[in-house]
Chains A and B, each alone.
Chain A
Amino acid sequence: VTAAASARGFTRVIVRQLFADRSALFFMFVLPVAVIVIIGATFGATPSVEVGVVAPAPTAAGDEIVDRLRSTPGVKVSTYDDAEALGLDVRRRVVTIGLVLPNDLDAALVEGTARITVLGEPSSSVTGSARDVVAGVVADVTAPIDAGRRAAELTGAPVGVAISTAERVASAIPVATPTTTDVGDGREASLSRFSLTAPQNLVLFVFINAVAGGAALVRLRRTGVLRRVLAGPTSAGSVILGLGVAWVSIALVQSVLILAVGGLAFGVDWGDPLGAAALTVVFAAVGGGAGLLVGAVGGNEDRVSSIGPLVGIGLGALGGCMIPLEIFPDAMRTVSRAVPHSWAMQGWQQLVFDGESLADITGPLVVLTAFAVVLFVAAAAVLRRSLTR
């Protein structure tokens, strides 16, 4: 039996086993898509901001601020009785940001002594944009009053007159917001908000699945199927090659599915097709190699299928599949280079965000190929020993 026939045979058997196992299908297709949707909606979305407001007494300016916040798209306002409760909810991130309006806001604005306290958790990634939104609304309401106060000071006009003049002037000066340009070769346009989470989950789940799938190989070994295959005219080399092709094929099928869902349903532009294809194949080989090695070394399929996902989640987290590499501490960024996921993420980042091509991602491709080769050679050595012993 040739290696090609062995590869075909094993692929068929493994695929059939896989489709019979609904848990594997769940991990392969349903979970990745669900995670892309949820995480994409969480981190990629136009920030939806929940503002908590404490307003002990109604004031004209305060009511105006709350009304404007309420009518701002993407902003939800909830009211609190005291600043302490609001602060704790900001801490626990039940609300994104808090505003404490003083009792005497109207008078204080006219005097130039008004202070509105903002409560934000500095370590939260969304505080900055939430503060922007709130600051914009507060400035809209308070700027004319402050301008009128200063104009009265400079011209000697009565404060009331100056403020109403400033309000008239303000209505003629539109509010400007900065324009944002996404930088990358030839990619100065906004990308789909799933552009980061889709590659992250592609890498994460292809690996998790391949490793957890190692349990199937443990079962093949343990039940003696492989030994029986060797009793026929198939060489150990053909069996190992066949298994390798089967594992990589499954990883490829899963990758293609996630690529397709990402592209068609979430509008992710995966970048240069040649680069994307090369990266997909090489990472599928890394996953396949890891799965084969785990299957060759593992002694108990239950343990492999329960530990596999954990190892996959841990390595995925280290490789930037859950938290962007951008916010890793320096030491952890160095550690992440020892994990194939971080090289795959770097490749996808270059393709998706920088619009680079196959030639530009040679570095990650070479490193990933090396990972794949090492994993396959190790798996083949262990398998050969256990099969021919």
Chain B
Amino acid sequence: MLHPPEVAAARRELVGRVEPRAVAAIARTEVTKRIRNRSAIVTAFLGPLILALVFGLLLGGTDDFSTTVGVVDLDDSEVSAPFVDALVGSSTDEERTVEFRVVGSRDEAVDAVDTGDLGAAIVVPAGLGATVLAGGTPEVEVLRDPSRTLTGAIAHGVANRYLTTLRTEAITAGAVGVLGGDTSDLGAATPPADVLVDGELPGNEISPLAFFGASMSILLLFFTVSFAARSIIVERASGVLGRILAAGVSARSVVMGKVVAVGALGLTGLLVVWLVTSLVFGATWGDPVGVVVVAVCTVVAVAGVATFVCGFARTEQQADTYTSALAFVLALLGGNFVGPGEAPAALRSLARLTPNGQALDAFGRISIDGASLLDVAPNVAALLAFGIGFGVVGLARIERTVRS
């Protein structure tokens, strides 16, 4: 006759066993169920694809960005005229996305900016030339529509460069004066040096569609993989789980079956988004080997974290709550919503502590730097650490739920 401790040991052995056939059968059933009730189709395939297209199309538009900036020359002096002429002259360049237009008065410019006819305006006040020639501090005003920050920043940059040029001229005139030269000869000297030159950037330009394809897939991956824990809670409540266990299937096999199913769905979804955005819409994701490996590690990481958090859920509703909160909080911290690299520095450091941030960084390196798998090895290691670290604890908790 077996003693109680031996019974416990035998039970432990039974529940801890992984039976490949049972795992496969449970995984197959789970995938079929998810596809039939369409929940996985939305979270794994359609959702990320549609959101990526929406964001990609919207942000892709920044390339076509064009605006008109008004220039009001109230000074009309030898100091201001060359500036205005140079700006308006530059508008004829076909490459330019910013066009400059002369406007008669400040009031007219205020109206035009207010109604949206102009994106912003630069006002050169009366007396600017005299101020500069007298060695005073010139003032230039930028009128902007506060809701059009980009155009405002462009106008500010132009005005700023103008003031810098004026200051350099004033210093030159001052120095020539002190050294006993004739300041009216300034034009005879070599012109002020253009010290700053724009350099060519290496690598590829950020592909908004690839970025948001990855970013939205990762966001929705949380929902896809959380179906594992959720389904266990539902089946436990409905008694289905009890019947599966009574048939001699181990708790670990049940949990593994569910996790394999949602992992496969999540990975397939991510790969489909990659293929569709790159083959149909020409998004540049970079080296396919790198993309696939990072995709696998991302699924492992997200599955680990989501399983860990859902392991605390006792009801279906709690599982939903935890998943939504986790998905959105990590997406916010990880930079999934703010566009490629637009996050402030503090947020970027926080992003590195999330699987989202690590995955987006890895996808970014592969796509933009043309990085190989070896280059993103630290990201891959971090993702696997997330997945294994949280996953092991989470699976143990869920297994306990199954047995209880």
A340 at the interface (CB under 8 A from B): no
Interface of B is mostly: helix
A191 at the interface (CB under 8 A from B): yes
A178 touches B140 (CB 8 A): yes
CA separation between A303 and B227, bound complex, in Å? 13
Specify which of B43, B150, B185, B186 is in contact with A327 (CB 8 Å cutoff).
Answer: B150
- Count of A interface residues, CB-CB < 8 Å: 115
Neighbouring A residues of B337 by C-beta, 8 Å: 35, 39, 322
Neighbouring B residues of A274 by C-beta, 8 Å: none
B143 touches A306 (CB 8 A): no
B192 touches A146 (CB 8 A): yes
B321 touches A155 (CB 8 A): no
B199 touches A84 (CB 8 A): no
B137 touches A174 (CB 8 A): yes
Neighbouring A residues of B157 by C-beta, 8 Å: 128-129, 131-132
B179 touches A88 (CB 8 A): no
Indicate with 1 or 0, residue by residue over A167-196, a CB within 8 angstroms of chain B CB atoms: 011101111111111111100001100011
A123 touches B145 (CB 8 A): no
CA separation between A146 and B168, bound complex, in Å? 8
Indicate with 1 or 0, residue by residue over B171-196, a CB within 8 angstroms of chain A CB atoms: 11011101111100110111011011
B64 touches A329 (CB 8 A): yes
How far is the CB of A351 from the nearest CB of chain B, in Å? 11
How far is the CB of A352 from the nearest CB of chain B, in Å? 8
B6 at the interface (CB under 8 A from A): no
Q: Which of A107-115, A227-235, A259-267, A362-370 contacts B (4 or more CB under 8 A)?
A: A107-115
B51 touches A314 (CB 8 A): yes
Neighbouring B residues of A98 by C-beta, 8 Å: 199
CA separation between A134 and B61, bound complex, in Å? 27
A154 touches B144 (CB 8 A): no
Shortest Cβ distance from B55 into A: residue:
A317
Indicate with 1 or 0, residue by residue over B343-361, a CB within 8 angstroms of chain A CB atoms: 1110110000000000001
A117 touches B141 (CB 8 A): no
A106 at the interface (CB under 8 A from B): no
Indicate with 1 or 0, residue by residue over B282-306, a CB within 8 angstroms of chain A CB atoms: 0000000000000000000000000
Neighbouring A residues of B150 by C-beta, 8 Å: 125, 128, 326-327
Shortest Cβ distance from A83 into B: residue:
B199
A87 touches B147 (CB 8 A): no
Q: Which B7-49 residues have a C-beta within 8 angstroms of A?
A: 37-39, 42-43, 47
B145 touches A183 (CB 8 A): yes
Shortest Cβ distance from A181 into B: residue:
B143
Shortest Cβ distance from A315 into B: residue:
B54
B381 at the interface (CB under 8 A from A): no
B188 touches A154 (CB 8 A): yes
A121 at the interface (CB under 8 A from B): yes
A184 touches B181 (CB 8 A): no
Neighbouring A residues of B204 by C-beta, 8 Å: 91
Specify which of A45, A118, A324 is in contact with B344 (CB 8 Å cutoff).
Answer: A45
B372 at the interface (CB under 8 A from A): no
B114 touches A91 (CB 8 A): no
Known contacts: A166-B174, A183-B113, A306-B42. The answer to whether A92 contacts B147 by CB under 8 A is no
B167 at the interface (CB under 8 A from A): yes
B175 touches A147 (CB 8 A): yes
Specify which of B50, B110, B178, B180 is in contact with A314 (CB 8 Å cutoff).
Answer: B50
Shortest Cβ distance from A39 into B: residue:
B338
Neighbouring B residues of A114 by C-beta, 8 Å: 193, 195
Shortest Cβ distance from A134 into B: residue:
B196
CA separation between A318 and B332, bound complex, in Å? 19
How far is the CB of A178 from the nearest CB of chain B, in Å? 4
Q: Which A21-74 residues have a C-beta within 8 angstroms of B?
A: 21-23, 26-27, 31, 34-35, 38-39, 41-43, 45, 48, 50
Known contacts: A173-B171, A176-B138. The answer to whether A303 contacts B345 by CB under 8 A is no
Shortest Cβ distance from B138 into A: residue:
A176
A257 at the interface (CB under 8 A from B): no
Indicate with 1 or 0, residue by residue over A69-87, a CB within 8 angstroms of chain B CB atoms: 0000000100000011001
B156 touches A151 (CB 8 A): no
Specify which of B163, B321, B339 is in contact with A22 (CB 8 Å cutoff).
Answer: B321
Specify which of A116, A302, A307 is in contact with B196 (CB 8 Å cutoff).
Answer: A116
CA separation between A216 and B393, bound complex, in Å? 34
B341 touches A92 (CB 8 A): yes
A120 at the interface (CB under 8 A from B): yes
Q: Which of A135-143, A279-287, A289-297, A381-389 contacts B (4 or more CB under 8 A)?
A: A135-143
Neighbouring B residues of A87 by C-beta, 8 Å: 199-203
How far is the CB of B24 from the nearest CB of chain A, in Å? 26
Specify which of B62, B332, B343 is in contact with A34 (CB 8 Å cutoff).
Answer: B332
B198 touches A117 (CB 8 A): yes
B328 at the interface (CB under 8 A from A): yes
Known contacts: A147-B175, A180-B144. The answer to whether A23 contacts B321 by CB under 8 A is yes
Neighbouring B residues of A22 by C-beta, 8 Å: 321
Shortest Cβ distance from B106 into A: residue:
A181
Output the residue of B167, B185, B342 with the most chain A CB within 10 A: B167
Specify which of B37, B167, B193 is in contact with A113 (CB 8 Å cutoff).
Answer: B193
CA separation between A329 and B66, bound complex, in Å? 9
Q: Can you list 18 A-B pairs, Cβ within 8 angstroms, ordered by A?
A: A23-B317, A91-B369, A100-B199, A121-B201, A134-B196, A135-B161, A139-B168, A143-B171, A144-B171, A154-B186, A155-B176, A155-B180, A155-B181, A169-B174, A173-B171, A179-B139, A182-B145, A182-B146
Q: A-B pairs with the 10 shortest C-beta distances?
A: A93-B341, A329-B61, A169-B174, A23-B321, A155-B181, A117-B199, A178-B159, A151-B175, A147-B171, A166-B175
Sample of 11 more A-B contacts, CB < 8 Å, known A35-B337, A45-B344: A23-B324, A31-B328, A48-B344, A88-B202, A109-B195, A128-B157, A132-B156, A151-B179, A183-B110, A306-B42, A354-B114
